[in-house]
Amino acid sequence: MTAISDRPQMMPEDFEELAHLLARTAEGIRLEFIYGKLGVKPVPDGDHSMIIEWLTRICMQARPELWLYNHGLKVQSYRDGRAHPDGALAPHGTVAGQGEWADSDGILMVVEVTSYDSDTERRDRIEKPRAYAETGIPMYLLIDRDSAEVTVFSRPNGVRYEIAHTVPFGRTVRLPDPVGITLDTEPLKNWVR
């Protein structure tokens, strides 16, 4: 028997309709739907945007055939979750023709930059790594501004990522294949409180 708290708050199709409506009427609000629960993703601040710009430049230089998309994804094992990662690295053209919520096939890495809000612990450090691993996305890059660390989650087994490698800002970290990029995280020190 399913506990009441385990039941989804709504169906994915209803969520998509609500998210589409709010995107048109409430500027800057992005909704997510992970494990049957509605979530609001905070509007990124300027430092958050600088981190995504920094990462986009590195990815473009190292792997010009890839693009760091800012696009909603269908996640979880049955694709009934909807997440808005801060970045989704994939071959150019991967999200073409897929509407607001793209299938996760072809996504090599998702990126989240923590926000300074009360949901960061649950959302970015617990639920999203699990949802992305269940989906089979090869890598999850967490840029954690609270702890000034970068964590590379890799080798998804359908339930979780088997490897989590964490380094403090200022160190070099390798994003393993299929990404194959090395990051010098020193500049991240400029964009934390």
Q: What residue segments make up the domains of the chain, in order of their start?
A: 44-191
pTM over 0.75, yes/no = yes
- Contact at 8 Å (CB) between 112 and 128? yes
* 3-class secondary-structure state, position 164: strand
- pLDDT of res. 156: 97
Distances (CA, A) of 108 to 67, 119, 137, 177, 193: 10, 25, 6, 9, 30
C-alpha 160/C-alpha 15 separation (Å) is 25
Ranges of the chain whose pLDDT falls below 50 = 1-4
CA 190 to chain centre: 22
Architecture of the domain made up of 44-191: Alpha-Beta Complex (3.90)
CA 180 to chain centre: 18
Answer whether the bond into residue 44 is a cis peptide, omega within 30°: no
C-alpha 154/C-alpha 36 separation (Å) is 25
Burial tier of 32 (Cβ tally within 10 Å: 0-12, 13-18, 19+): buried
